[in-house]
Amino acid sequence: MIDADELAFLDGIAQAELVRRREVTPLELVDAAIRRVERLNPVLNAVVTPMYEQARAAASSKLPRGPFTGVPFLLKDLLAPYRGVRMTLGSAFLSDFVPPHDSELVMRLKRAGLIILGRTNTPELGLLPTTEPKLFGACHNPWDLTRTPGGSSGGSAAAVASGMVPMAHGNDGGGSIRIPASCCGVFGLKPTRARNPLGPDFGEIMGGLVVEHALTRTVRDSAALLDVTSGASPGDPYWAPPKKRPFIKEVGAPPGRLRIAFTVQAPTGVPVHPDCALAARDAAQLCVDLGHELTEVSPVTDGIELVNRAFMTVWAAGCASTIDAAALATGKKPTPEQFEPATWAIYEMGSRRTASEYLIAVTVLQRFSRDVARFFADYDIWLTPTLSQPPLPLGSFDPPPEDPLYAQRRAAEFVPFTPVCNITGQPAMSVPLFWNSNGLPIGVHFVGRFGDEATLFRLAAQLEEARPWATRKPPVAAS
């Protein structure tokens, strides 16, 4: 059998190919991944609900024939219910909640041949860009254990970066795939709105802000995974424009000469750390070297304060509806002591919003989306830093007792770039092209037109070939 450490840093497609050639069995892959989780998780706290018994049973049975047959995978502990396995959303209020069915996404993951090993750490209700829930404790960044892995898919990003699994589930309502991808030095693509299904429980979440996908080590894994999970399911309220061909065929296809808009200025005006600006400028120069046309310009941001208020109205209403729906599902009455102070403050904010205020906010966001769409008539890609700062120290979002909304304001300062694409529904990716002088990964953000993941995959593969990152291993991986 191939060396365990070498196996851990093969991507999912390579692991599946070993299974197809019968050089390794699915059970051997699963056991190797479990051993790695057991070795690293006491340090990283990335996996919060192991599913080892189910995984070994699946690996020992006849698996579906798919592109990832036998490959270990992890689910984030937020959305994507798996029948019979607890799903807490990082909250003590749901610490014993067990969903009665699989989501459509989970069924598609299983049909692709993936074997699910467990669920990964996430902040309470996925509300913050760090992964430090009171229920499970902080998840640690594999590149520096004192730093955040990002959020809300922080556990999944830490698991992929450290070699526990080649890819792991994530979702994104304000940057929750791209933020931890940047912090942990992995590839994170947020697909177009409604590219992946949210059923059977949801048609849309938070007015369309939230999408499902994954964090991966390689571009081709992300593309191949999106091929097997994407597409409308019966009853969906709307769906993304159909792809012209499989996404995996875009990987390695020439992107052509792209017109790329570029800025290091945050739309909200918050300061951008020199390392994050340097990462974006370095990526811009790389794109020029690859033959693309760069113009330093940004979408129109007139009225951005109104847009931010509208986003927060939808965000808070989404928090309130999540807690109220959890109360209906469990038969329990939510009280402040069952939630973290920051979560309860957002819940109360959302509960005070009227239906009229919510619909006006949605209208504001839709108008902003049309402004951004007009900008993309002239550009194929918009390039920015992913975040305004490198991975922050753990504890940076802890609110003082007298100011529970501090964490949300701090979050807005940290993530000024990513929420734009949740508002507009456009696909976007964080690409790990840069590490700073402290050895911390700094992601670079690329935004595509609505429905055009194909161009992003073609560009990402070109960047990956020019500056490979998949073989970079964080210090914890060698421990």
Catalytic residue IDs: 76, 152, 176
- Sequential DSSP letters for 230-278: -S--TT-S--PPPPSS-GGGGTTS---S-EEEE--S-TT-----HHHHH
Calculate mean pLDDT across residues 89-114: 98
CB 74 within 8 A of CB 169: yes
Provide the pLDDT for residue 1: 58
Q: What is the pLDDT of residue 37?
A: 98
Query: Of 216 and 479, which is predicted with more confidence?
Result: 216
232 near 186, Cβ under 8 Å? no
pTM: 0.98
At residue 5, the pLDDT reads: 77
**pLDDT, tens only, 295-334:** 999 986 678 999 999 999 999 999 999 999 999 999 999 9
CB-facing half-sphere around the CA of 339: CA atoms within 13 A: 26
Residue range 73-95, pLDDT digits in tens: 999 999 999 999 999 999 999 99
At which residue do the structure tokens 């109220």 appear?
324
Q: Which among 314, 299, 432 has a CA at the least distance from the CA of 376?
A: 299
Q: pLDDT tens for residues 31-71?
A: 999 999 999 999 999 999 999 999 999 999 999 999 999 99
The pairing of strands 72-76 and 259-262 is: unpaired
pLDDT value, residue 303: 81
